[in-house]
Amino acid sequence: MLCICGSGLDEDVCCKSIIEKKRVAVFPEQLMRSRYYSYAHNNVDYLYETYADHAKSATLKSEIADWCQQSRWIKLNIHRADAVAIDNVNCTVENENTALKYPIVNFTAYYIYNDTYCQMTEQSRFIVENGQWRYYDGDVIEQKACVKLTRNTSCPCGSGKKYKRCCIG
């Protein structure tokens, strides 16, 4: 089955293998894609684990769970991803040559929330902690409701079915 992250790869060799710890995310983009996959599959533990330590709070897991349960994830488009491999990056000190303190991934995620097709564009920053990429923080560039879905609307997932027979509920 193709991975929901949009990489064009089979999920077993893409995000699923990172989440199941069969391999590590070498690039920030791989971590970003695996996090998107986890939102789509309600994998709260993985999402929490991949936050940078500074961002973890007592309520973070319940906030993640609420967002996962309330949203149906449709599509991910990566616009820009700094190709900095974990093997050659020092994310704690500004790198003179690349000017990257926190490598970024700029993306748009499409999802359904309260029967509304929405999109969110974010610039996410990443850091290496204990030899692993972690989500440091992000700036939402744009978040908008695109269209209110009714039962007979064509489903935005691209299945060709009506919303009531596809992604509703």
For 26-41, what is each residue's pLDDT tens digit?
999 999 999 999 999 9
pLDDT at 87 over 90: no
pLDDT at 110 over 80: yes
Q: Do the beta carbons of residue 51 and residue 42 sit within 8 Å?
A: no
pLDDT, tens digit, for every residue of 5-25?
999 999 999 999 999 999 999
Residue type, 155: C
Report the chain's mean pLDDT, rounded to a whole number.
Answer: 88
pLDDT at 62 over 60: yes
Average pLDDT over residues 43-68: 95
> Which two tokens mark 165?
């027979």
Q: What is the pLDDT, as a whole number, of residue 77?
A: 96
Q: How far is CA 93 from CA 40, 72, 90, 128, 159, in A?
A: 33, 38, 6, 11, 46
Strand partners, 112: 72, 117
Q: Rounded CA gap, 15 and 22, in Å?
A: 10
Tell me how crowded residue 38 is: count the other CB atoms within 10 A of its CB. 25
Q: Do the beta carbons of residue 33 and residue 75 sit within 8 Å?
A: no
